[in-house]
Amino acid sequence: MFEGFTLDFIDLPEARLRVRHGGSGPPVLLLHGHPRTHATWHLVAPILARTHTVVCPDLRGFGQSSKPADTPDHRGSSKRAKAGDCVALMRRLGFERFALVGHDRGSYTAFRTAMDHPDAVTRLAILDGVPIVEALERCDVRFAQAWWHWFFFAQKEKPERAILADPDAWYGGSPERMGEENFADYRAAIHDPATVHGMMEDYRAGLGVDRAYDEEDRRQGRKVRCPVLCLWSLKDDLEALYGDVLGVWRPWAADLRGHGIDSGHHMAEEAPEELAAALLRFLEEEPAR
């Protein structure tokens, strides 16, 4: 897994991240979702690394990266805090500017990084996500049935107790579908109480400070300044919930394109070649004049 890549633990001002990096060329940072680790990219990253420098961290609070201290407002698990980690990490690796790809919960950190650090992000790819405030304001019976976990995970203590009673039954997954090493890494994460708590804190921040950041950006008329690619899994529920997924994103990005991927939710594992091809087309397209 990740042949030719280097595995490091890198100390940043506010976090210590486990990071896999390799390849050469223009830099691209890949951010995983819940409940995965950076290992979810093990089939995509080597394809991108043929022409790019690829960096895959465990997000703060996830995997083997450090866990932020608990506070009443969950600010240490906010996407703003994690965006700061992204910029600091890439600078430590020698990159002031980089392309950014985020899936699922990682898409919220990717979006926040592009909003808060527009001079650092050259291109933004969002996989299976819309801005948090858009999801919450569109919440209806369909959303509550499909994404009820957003609200359960935001409760105090109870989700950790439920998940840790039987993590394998809660999350599922198998080495046959995920690959043996990726599955082993993921399984270690979901059996670690500190990591499960860190993942729940990501959701608690989402309903509070992260939503507030999105609302303030909208009041100020801020948009993502770089080109944006939005991809969604056709066998997941983003289209069912929102219909025109790109329509949700248009108020947030002037330079926008996107389409569905023939995959279930974990597209990096289920459709790695199609995903990598779509990302490479986006990363290598000529800038608009």
Task: Classify residue 146: in a domain, yes or no.
Answer: yes
Q: What's the structural domain count of the chain? A: 1
Task: Classify residue 90: in a domain, yes or no.
Answer: yes
Q: Mean pLDDT in the chain?
A: 97
pTM, rounded to two decimals: 0.97
- Read off the pLDDT band of 286 (50, 70, 90): confident
Token pair, residue 176, equals 């046959």
The boundaries of the domain holding residue 270 are 6-284
CATH number for the domain spanning 57: value is: 3.40.50.1820
The residues assigned a catalytic role are 104, 265
- Tell me the per-residue pLDDT of 36-91, one tens digit each, with 9 for 90 and over: 999 999 999 999 999 999 999 999 999 999 999 999 999 999 999 999 999 999 99
| Range 9-15, long-range pairs (CB < 8 A, 24+ positions) | 9/64, 10/89, 10/92, 10/93, 12/85, 12/88, 12/89, 12/92, 13/84, 13/88, 14/60, 14/68, 14/76, 14/81, 14/84, 14/85, 14/88, 15/60, 15/65, 15/66, 15/68, 15/85
Task: Classify residue 289: in a domain, yes or no.
Answer: no
Whether residue 217 is predicted with pLDDT greater than 70 in this model: the reply is yes
Task: Classify residue 247: in a domain, yes or no.
Answer: yes
- State in Å, rounded, how far the first CA of the chain is from the last one: 40
pLDDT for res 285:
87
Whether residue 248 is predicted with pLDDT greater than 70 in this model: the reply is yes
Q: What percent of the chain has pLDDT over 90?
A: 97
Task: Classify residue 110: in a domain, yes or no.
Answer: yes
Task: Classify residue 1: in a domain, yes or no.
Answer: no
